């Protein structure tokens, strides 16, 4: 699992290195904002899926989104007083 995680990081870094610096930093900023507000990151999911579940079809963007929000908002306390 740990090796898989570092593999993801490596793969992402390589993919990002190919992009232009400005776009890369904007993309990085948006990724941070997404994580803070708890929004799904479909691109990240695809990378994870390719690394950890090779040979199976990934969810579509819509399926991924619906599953993500139903997990995040579907149960448990996500908001406080």
Partner 1 sequence: MLALNMRRLLSSLVWIAVAALGATAFALLALSRGESISAAWILCAGVASYAIAYRFYARFLALKVFALDDRRATPAERLNNDRDFVPTNKWVLYGHHFSAIAGAGPLIGPMLASQFGFLPGTLWLIAGVVAGGAVQDFTILVLSMRRDGKSLGQMAKEEVNSVAGVAAMLAILAIMIILLAVLALVVVNALRSSPWGLFIIASTIPIALLMGWWMRSVRPGHVLEASAIGMVLLLGALVAGQWVSRDPTWSRWFTWSGTDLSFAMIVYGFFASVLPVWLLLAPRGYLSTFLKIGTVLVLAGAILVVLPQTRMPAISQFVDGTGPVFAGKVFPFAFITIACGAISGFHALIASGTTPKMVMRESESRMIGYGGMLMESFVGLMAVIAAATLEPGVYFAMNVPSGVLGTTGDSAARVIAQWGFTLHPGQMEALARQMGEATLLSRTGGAPSLAVGMAAILGGVVKGSGLALWYHFAIMFEALFILTTVDAGTRVGRFMLQELGAHLWKPFGRTSWYPSIVLSSALIVAGWGYFLYQGVVDPLGGINSLWPLFGIANQLLAAVALCVGTTVLIKMEKQRYAWTTLVPLAWLAAVTLTAGWQKVFAADPRLGFLSHARVVARGTATASSARLIFNDRLDAALALVFMAVVLVVIAASAREWWLVLSRRKAPTVNEAAFVPSAYAAGD
How many residues are recorded in the chain? 81
Using the minimum distance from each CB to partner 1, give the nearer residue, 19 or 66. 66
What mask, x for binding partner 1 by CB under 8 A, covers residues 6 to 45? Answer: x-----------------------x-xxxxxxxxx-x-xx
Q: Which residues of 31-68 are buried (b: 16+ CB within 10 A; e: fewer)?
A: beeeeeeeebeeeebebbeebeeeeeeeeeeeebeeeb
* Residue 50 makes contact with partner 1 by CB under 8 A: no
Give the residues lining the site for partner 1 (CB under 8 A). 1-6, 30, 32-40, 42, 44-45, 48-49, 52, 60-62, 64-81
């Amino acid at each position: 699992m740990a090796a898989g995680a570092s593999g993801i990081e490596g793969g992402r870094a390589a993919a990002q290195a190919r992009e232009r610096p400005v776009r890369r930093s904007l993309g990085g900023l948006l990724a941070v904002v997404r994580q803070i507000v708890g929004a799904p990151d479909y691109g990240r999911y695809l990378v994870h899926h390719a690394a950890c579940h090779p040979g199976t079809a990934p969810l579509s963007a819509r399926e991924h989104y619906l599953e993500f929000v139903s997990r995040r908002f579907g149960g448990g306390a996500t908001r406080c007083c």
